Amino acid sequence: MKKILFIEDESALQKAVTEVLIAEGYQVFSALDGEIGVALALREHPDLILLDLVLPKKDGFEVLAALKKDPGTVRTPVIILSNLGDVGDVERTVELGATTFLVKTNYKLEEVVKKVKNILGD
């Protein structure tokens, strides 16, 4: 079973996305802030990470930088799922090594799942 880590501080969103991913047969770990997110990623070595940008304790940019520095997570695909969508934000995350950037309000749950499946080759 493939593992997905979802780092998101909004519990309602976390529940919704987690639920559909579990329904698709993935094992999902969730973190409510950036610090826990990095710790979980380094411990669990997920196959994919879904990452919000506005996060308590450590923001998404810092989390992404930390993940891309560690040899255990440097190759893990990271999907940014955020409501920040400025060109600057997108460029910064791509420079830091994000695989793709999804603006939350523009995507349906099933589209998010489709992206995940595409990236994981399922």
Q: Contact residues for another protein (CB under 8 A)?
A: 9-10, 12-13, 16-17, 19-20, 22-23, 54-57, 59, 83-85, 104-105, 108-110
Q: From residue 65, how far is each of 7, 12, 90, 121 by CA, in Å?
A: 14, 26, 14, 25
Between residues 13 and 119, which has the closer beta carbon with respect to another protein? 13
Helix, strand, or coil here: 27? strand
CB of 8 to another protein, least distance (A): 10
Helix axes 34-44, 60-69, angle to 10 degrees: 20
The residue among 33 and 44 lying less far from another protein, judged by its C-beta, is 33
Rg (CA), the chain: 13
Nearer to another protein, 48 or 113 (CB): 113
* Smallest distance from another protein to CB 54, Å: 5
The minimum distance between CB 24 and another protein, in angstroms, equals 10
